[in-house]
Amino acid sequence: MTRTNEVTSTAVAGAGIEMRGIEVVPESERSGQPRSLFWPWFAANISVLGISYGAFTLAFGISFWQAAIAGVVGVVVSFALCGVIALAGKRGSAPTMVLSRAAFGVNGNRLTAALSWLLTVGWETVLVILATLATATVFTRLGWGGGTGTKIVALIVVSAITVLAGVAGFAVVMRLQAVITVVTAVLTVVYMALAADHIHWSTVSALPSGSAQNVIGALVFLMTGFGLGWVNAAADYSRYLPRSASSRGVFGWTTFGGALGPVILLIFGLLLAGSSQSLSDAIGADPIGALTTLLPTWFLIPFVIAAVLGLIGGAVLDIYSSGLALLTAGVRIPRYLAAAVDGVIMIAGTIYVVFFGSSFIGAFQGFLITLGVPIAAWCGVMVADVALRRRDYAEAELFDPRGRYGNVRVLPLTLVVAGTAIGWGLVTNTFAGWLSWQGYLLGPLGLGGRQGDWAYANLGILVALVIGLVGTLLGSPREIRRQEAA
C-alpha cells in the first residue's frame, strides 16, 4: 500500500535527533521489556502537583475518606484506560493517534488527532507555567528576588529542557525520564518527611462528609486530571516494544507506573490540606509555591529541583506526543519541527499566564472539563476498539484511505460528536465567562439545572466515556471482523 499525504522519514538519527515521524517502527528496531514503561509513566506523574490535588479534591466539600476512595479509584481506573490503549502500541508499533485511524478511518481520524494535539499542548503549557511560578516563589522566600527577572530565567531554563528533549525524541525522552524518576522520588520523600508535622489527624477526620454528587464530581475531576489526560498518548511509548512482549506486562507496567506516584501524593495532599484551610486556599492560587510554606529554608532549593523536574517529566512526554498528534492531524513537517512548533506555542501560552494572566486554578479546571469531554468520548471508542481486536494492525493500511480501515468511519465519529454534545450539556463551567453555556441539559433532564445538586458532578465526562465505549462495543464488532479478515 502507498502512504499518501504523509511525512515519512528514516529512523537514522542526526546529532542525536530521532528522525522517525509517525510511521511504523520496523521489527528490527523494537526492543526492551514491558517494565521499561514504568520509567516514563512514573516520571511524568511523580510531580509534587499531585499533593496539591488534595486541596483541589477537598474543595468539592467531601470528607477525607470520601476523597481518598474517590482518589484511589479515579487514579487507578483512569491509568488502567491508558494501559489498555498502550496495548495498541505493541500491536501496531505506531503512535497512538495513528492507531486511532483503525477506529475512525485514515482521514476521519484527523478530527480526533487535532483534539489530542490541543489537549497535549494545553497540558505541557500548564506544567511549564507551574514550574515557572514555583521557581519564583522559592526565590522570593530565599530573598533572592522572585520578580520578573527570575520568572524569565525560569521560563527559559524549563522551556529549553522541555523543547530540546521533545525535539531529540524517544531515546532522549526515555533516558531523561529515568533520571527524573530517581531524583524526584528521593526529594519528594524528603519533602513528605519534613511536612508530616503539619498533619493533624483530629482536624482531618472531622471534615464533614459531602453528598454523592460531590463525591462523583471529585472522582471525575481526578480521572480527568490524571489518566484521562494521558490516554491519547498511551501507545506512543509502548510502540517500540517487540510484538512478543507480554500484553499483561504492557498493561500492568503502564497502569502501575502512572498510578503509583499520584495515589501516594494525593493521599498525603489530602492530609495536609485537610489539616489547614489556609494552606488549602493558598494552593488554589499557587499550587506548587504554597507547599514551600511548610519547609525549612535549607530545603527550598532541593524542593524547587524536585518540583521543576517532576513538572518537566510530564511536559516532556506531552511535547513529544503533541508533535506526533500534529503530524497525524495532517501537518506535513518533520517530527522534530512539529515538537519545536508546539514548544513555541507552549512558551507563548506560559508568557501570557505568568505575566498577564490571573487566577490559575479556575482556568485549569475549565480547561480540564471542556477538553475532557471529547477526549473521554474518544477514549471510550478506542478502548472498546482495542478490546474487540484479535489481530495485530495491518501497518501499511493505517496510512492508506483506500485500505481496510477506510477513509472515514461514520459510527465512531458520530459517537464522539454525540458524546461531546451530551457531555458538555451535563457539566458546568463557571471558571471562564465564555464557558458558561455548558450545562444546558441539567435542567431539561431534571437534574436541577446549573445550580442544582448535580451541577458540579461533571457527569458529562462519564457519560461521554460510556457513549463511546458502549456504542463501539455494540456497533463495531462486525466491521472490525471484516477488517481483520481482509
Residues 233 and 318 sit within 8 Å (Cβ to Cβ): yes
User: How far apart are the two ends of the chain, measured CA to CA in Å?
Assistant: 14
Question: C-alpha distances in angstroms, 10 versus 4, 23, 320, 335?
Answer: 17, 9, 17, 11
pLDDT tens track for 416-446:
999 999 999 998 876 667 778 899 999 999 9
State residue 365's pLDDT score: 61
State residue 257's pLDDT score: 95
State residue 31's pLDDT score: 87
pLDDT tens track for 235-269:
998 999 998 999 999 999 999 999 999 999 999 99
pTM: 0.89
Residues 230 and 258 sit within 8 Å (Cβ to Cβ): yes
Q: What are the b/e assignments for 233-262, b being 16+ CB within 10 Å?
A: bbbbbbbbbeeebeeebbbbbbbbbbbbbb
pLDDT lower than 70: segments of the chain: 1-15, 358-365, 368, 430-432
Residue 210: strand, helix, or coil: coil
Residue 389: name the closest of 247, 255, 257 by CA.
Answer: 247
State the Cα–Cα distance between residues 251 and 248, nearest whole angstrom. Answer: 5
State residue 1's pLDDT score: 34
Domains of the chain from N-terminus onward: 27-485 (1.10.4160.10)
| Burial (0-12, 13-18, 19+ Cβ within 10 Å), 348 | exposed
